[in-house]
Amino acid sequence: MSESETPQQRALRIVRLEVERSGGTPGDVTLSTPLRDLGLDSLDLLELQVSLADEFDVEIPDPVVQPDWIAAGTTVGELILQVVGREQGSA
């Protein structure tokens, strides 16, 4: 992690690492990428949530990514806002 990274950049880096780990193309992932386009299965999405929570040292009591989010076209940026918002709210 670079000290000059913003919270969004940190989170986007984590998302890209998870996409790469699952065999996807991380360079194609942007804040506007819909979650359904990441090519992640439900277990991958759960692992992504855990990785983001760990990176930001937050507790996420319930899964942030719900099945209807994926169907509704929720983006990577919207997911990141959920996690970053939890981090800022706990300070």
- Whichever domain contains 77, its CATH number is 1.10.1200.10
Instruction: Identify whether 41 is a catalytic site residue.
Output: yes
In a domain, 2, yes or no: no
- Per the structure, the count of domains in the chain is 1
Q: What is the pTM of this model?
A: 0.76
In a domain, 26, yes or no: yes
Treating both helix axes as pointing N-terminal to C-terminal, what angle do 76-89 and 42-56 enclose, rounded to 10 degrees? 40
* Regions of the chain where pLDDT drops below 70: 1-2, 61-67, 69, 84, 86-91
Residue 62's pLDDT is: 67
In a domain, 24, yes or no: yes
In a domain, 1, yes or no: no
Residue 61's pLDDT is: 65
Residue 33's pLDDT is: 93
Do residues 76 and 30 make contact, with C-beta atoms less than 8 angstroms apart? yes
Catalytic one of 28, 37, 41, 54: 41
49-76 per-residue burial string, b: 16 or more CB within 10 A, e: under 16: bebbbebbebeeeeebbeeebbeeebbb
